[in-house]
Amino acid sequence: MAIPAGEGVYRITASLIWRVRVPMVTALFIDNQWIPFIDGEQMSKQFASGCPRLSLHRCVANYLHRNNSNPSFDVVIGGEAK
């Protein structure tokens, strides 16, 4: 679940997804788009989106693929229903 962490910031805490330890993921609202990044890595402008949920999803999916995992998952913002 992505939680607000200030104006223009959403974060997903570090978590275990299908046996892959995913570090904290942050999306920042910069220049009218949400730009995500994994802790310890550079911002991932290639995963930018007009929606924080989609940008976070793209970033996490890429991280999982780089770690040989391709699970189905949903990013939920705050208390949104799935």
- Positive or negative CA dihedral for 1, 45, 34, 40? positive
SS3 45: helix
CB 71 within 8 A of CB 62: no
Confidence of residue 52 (pLDDT cuts 50, 70, 90): very high
- Gyration radius of the chain over CA positions: 12
Domain boundaries, the chain: 2-66
- Between CA 30 and CA 62 the distance in angstroms is 21
- Between CA 26 and CA 41 the distance in angstroms is 11
- For 4-48, write each residue's pLDDT tens digit: 999 999 999 999 998 999 999 999 999 999 999 999 898 878 999
